[in-house]
Amino acid sequence: MLLKASLTRYAALLALAFFTSLGFAQEPHCKKTIYLTFDTGNMSVAQTVADILNRQKIKATFFLANEKTSRGDFSLDDSWKSFWQDRVREGHHFGSHTYDHLYFVKDGPSGEIFAKPQFGSKAGVISLYNEASYCREIRRVDERFNELTGSNIQKIWRAPGGKTSPRSIRMGSQCGYQHFGWSPAGFLGDELSSHTHPNQVLLDKASSQLQDGDITMAHLGIWSRKDPWAPAVLEQLIVNLKARGFCFATLPKQDK
């Protein structure tokens, strides 16, 4: 009888291993949803983030700008073509972060806005943008992404730094792109000092405070942080959220 029970258990374990290898490992039924999103940043942990998402079998949303990377090129250069093509094949979603990482400054006097690009030919120069020129900065990402991958981004965008006004949001909407920021608890803190905000503190905070429907925000690399946020926080955060009954979805949000 003992031998029979052992053989039965062994067979069950073999079956579980087989189905797991085929990608059929079952997660507890999720009743809550989290939207993981990543802005380009300096791309130093881009492949690390992608590997973790693949390993955990979840999809995320990437907001792209043509930012300078840790290897000296820019995130929408041809040198990143295969990286973005791989993410498309994996089924992730993509949005615009404005091509030159354009920081909103304030509303202008006659329906325009003042904004300052971080990159490009006018980097660091505050200029007036009307609806057409601001739309162009949002749409350039879509056009370049199509050149790189043969696919378009979703019709969504995120203002750099989360800096907006009702006017700038309206400009994006009239251009055809819905704006998505992030939830208060969704600020994952990867751009903060690792001295004052160590990874374990950021992990514990996010693991306990995120709630159903929250949108998170982190980067594919940050220049100033000495102790990288990924992989130290990301994978364990995903594991912790799965244990709390969360599943993961991509933007734009779908009506339930």
Q: How far apart are CA 48 and CA 119, in angstroms?
A: 25
**Displacement of CA 109 from its chain's centroid (Å):** 34
Pairing of strands 178-179, 156-157: parallel
Provide mean pLDDT across the span 1-5: 40
Lowest mean pLDDT among 8-22, 86-100, 107-121, 209-223: 8-22
**Core vs surface per residue 47-62: b (16+ CB within 10 A) or e:** ebbbebbeebebebbb
Provide mean pLDDT across the span 205-227: 96
Residue type (1 letter), 118: Q
Taken in order of first residue, the domains within the chain and their CATH numbers are 29-248 (3.20.20.370)
- CA angle, corner 153, sides to 148 and 154, nearest 5? 170
Give the pLDDT confidence of 153-184 residue by residue, as tens digits. 999 999 999 999 999 999 999 999 999 999 99
Pairing of strands 113-117, 102-107: antiparallel
- The encoded tokens of residue 47 equal 């492949």
How would DSSP label each residue in 46-101? HHHHHHHHHHHT---EEEE---B-TTSSBTTSGGGHHHHHHHHHHT-EEEE--TT-
Compute CA distances 30 → 17, 55, 219, 243, whole Å: 22, 19, 26, 9
pTM of the model: 0.88
Q: How far apart are CA 54 and CA 40, in angstroms?
A: 18
Give the pLDDT confidence of 35-81 residue by residue, as tens digits. 999 999 999 999 999 999 999 999 999 999 999 999 999 999 999 99
